[in-house]
Structure 1
Amino acid sequence: MLFAYVIVYLVFLYAPIVVIGLFSFNESSSLTFPIEGFSLQWYEKLISNPAFLASLKNSFIVATSAAIVTTILGSLAALALLRLRGRWKAALGAIGFAPIALPGLFLGIGLVAMFAQVGVQRSLVTVTAAHVLFALPFFIETMRSRIEYFDLSLEDAAKDLGASTMQTFKLVTLPIIGPSIIGAAMLVFALSFDEFIITVFVSGNESTLPLLIWSMMRVTVNPEINAASMVAMALSLLITMGGGLLFWAQRRRAVSARKLLNGE
């Protein structure tokens, strides 16, 4: 019974993706079965579409910028929470986690109202700022799950041996938390690359890939939209897998270094 439930769950989860993929290769513009033939024409039209290339470039710029800024701010916040004790740690941890429960609709409305009040023109900069605000709690929570087990006595030992604060961070702290930083940064990139609701409110004249797909769907639904969706999903998957490989390599290096120090 449990096995059947798992199968039904997987079919329900992946069937829409399979259908989108099939119709993106359909020779006909019809979105009904049976498929009339195999063709790459919709991908060719997509690649030759300047609007698609521009929106894809904007999505990469925004996601990369958001990941970099969030990594810097989130790492500092996670390390600060690690050193707090008592009520302050619990209170600040709860405040940092609270935005995750806030619907994207409310966050988008609040941001567009704030930008209007301070006179900031909506652009990719405001989109990046909104994505940082949206993704920062996810980054911090991902980091906290790892650094909660970080032994601060390792930093004290390094300083007792003559290492400066910067040397301690570079040679002791960073190698230990590095895999978690990479994994959290890749998560932020994926969240930013696919974010739609908040982006609708804070974007200006320049469009990201999710906004372009939405605007295409408002006119008509054709296999070119399926092709664009498959490209977006494939890129997100490749980047996430790349981050996973980096995480794995960094973790293996940390384990090897630990074994070397222990004389194993």
Structure 2
Amino acid sequence: MRTPQPFYKKPLSPGMGLGVYVGLYLFFLYLPVCLIPLFSFNDSIQAAFPLKGFTLGWYRALLHNDGVRRALLTSLEVGGTSAFLATLCGLTLAYARVFLRSGLSTILSGLCQLPLLIPGVIVGIAMLIVVNVIGVGPSRIALVCGHMLVGLPTAFMILYGRLAGLSRSIPEAAEDLGAREWTTFSRIILPLALPALGSAFMLAFLTSFDEFIIAFFLTGSEPTLPVYIWGQLRFPRSLPLVMALGSLILAVSIIIAAASELMRRRGKLTERQAVS
């Protein structure tokens, strides 16, 4: 009597099984995100199948919505300011950590990464208490400080990785030729780190632009775009506008993330050319 043969000749390898798991995970993770642009073109206020028809009316309505325009302007101003400050602080901490190697720089670089470990609700409540104690209260200044706090870890890690990856022979050669520390930094290290600076700024800006929890606690009379979207979700008739706005934010986020990655890769290429 013959033993029945299995349907497959050899079992799945661990790598193939992991690939299937990751594929299913990404499918369930991004499927709802992909549905948002789809329903933003639906000629109905209900996000349900079957679709009623194709329309661009929700996108045209965004152009004439004063609330969206004001919230967008607030997000751009807060995001640009907080990203600039986070990138500047991240560059200072990364330079001190890589080239100075003091105990204080190690402690400060570790403290700047704590927002990644602390829940956003806790950070938001703590920031709200602080701004109320010092008399600022929920305002544009408080929002910039809060978003700088959450954007600093991203900027620091990008800049630290870039500066730590620089060849030690480059600044040493400059010092042997008589260049001072500031000259070495401004004319050699900073140009080599410029793509990383751009990448850090864009990702810090993207973090601020998409951040909701801290903005919810620190926003005053001028809500950011995520806070405005959350407020509009209470009204069913505003759902198509929210999905159209979310589709635009998703597209811009992908473009900024791709540009940041391209700048990071260009920085590595620039370093190889400088070394060679």
What letter matches 2:154 in structure 1? F
1:206 to 2:206 alignment: no
Residue 168 of structure 1 corresponds to which residue in structure 2?
A: 184
Residue 58 of structure 1 corresponds to which residue in structure 2?
A: 74
Instruction: Count the aligned residue pairs.
Output: 259
Runs (5+) with no aligned partner, structure 2: 1-16
Q: Given the alignment, which residue of 10, 30, 33 partners 2:49?
A: 33
Residue 244 of structure 2 corresponds to which residue in structure 1?
A: 227
- CA root-mean-square deviation: 2.1
Deviates more, 1:46-55 or 1:147-156: 147-156
Q: Deviations over 1:106-144 (max 9, x none)?
A: 111111111111111432221111101122122222322
Q: Deviations over 1:15-73 (max 9, x none)?
A: 10121111100011121101011101111111210110111111111111111111111
What letter matches 1:228 in structure 2? L
Q: Which aligned pairs between 1:98-247 and structure 2 lie closer than 5 A?
A: 98-220=114-236, 222-247=239-264
TM superposition shift of 1:78: 0.7
- Cα distance in structure 1, aligned partners of 2:115 and 2:47: 39
1:193–1:236 CA contact under 8 A, matched in 2: no
TM-score after normalising by structure 1: 0.89
Residue 99 of structure 2 corresponds to which residue in structure 1?
A: 83
Query: How has the CA–CA distance of structure 1 residues 237 and 55 changed in structure 2, closer, same or farther, with 3 Å as cutoff?
Result: same
TM superposition shift of 1:231: 1.2
Which of 1 and 2 has higher RCO (CA within 8 Å, sep 6+)? 1
TM superposition shift of 1:87: 5.7
- Cα distance in structure 2, aligned partners of 1:159 and 1:150: 15
Local SS of the residue matching 2:55: coil
2:93–2:105 CA contact under 8 A, matched in 1: no
1:44 to 2:40 alignment: no
Query: How has the CA–CA distance of structure 1 residues 164 and 93 changed in structure 2, closer, same or farther, with 3 Å as cutoff?
Result: closer
Q: Given the alignment, which residue of 93, 110, 127 partners 1:94?
A: 110
TM superposition shift of 1:171: 2.3
Runs (5+) with no aligned partner, structure 1: 260-264
1:4 to 2:17 alignment: no
TM-score after normalising by structure 2: 0.85
- Cα distance in structure 2, aligned partners of 1:89 and 1:114: 25
State the structure with more CA Rg.
Answer: 2
What letter matches 1:233 in structure 2? L
2:200–2:260 CA contact under 8 A, matched in 1: no
Local SS of the residue matching 2:234: helix
2:96–2:105 CA contact under 8 A, matched in 1: no
TM superposition shift of 1:241: 2.3
TM superposition shift of 1:151: 4.0
1:100–1:138 CA contact under 8 A, matched in 2: no
Query: How has the CA–CA distance of structure 1 residues 123 and 141 changed in structure 2, closer, same or farther, with 3 Å as cutoff?
Result: same
- Cα distance in structure 2, aligned partners of 1:238 and 1:60: 16
TM superposition shift of 1:91: 4.1
Q: Deviations over 1:65-107 (max 9, x none)?
A: 1111111111001111113447656544433322320111111
1:186–1:243 CA contact under 8 A, matched in 2: yes
- Cα distance in structure 2, aligned partners of 1:120 and 1:88: 29
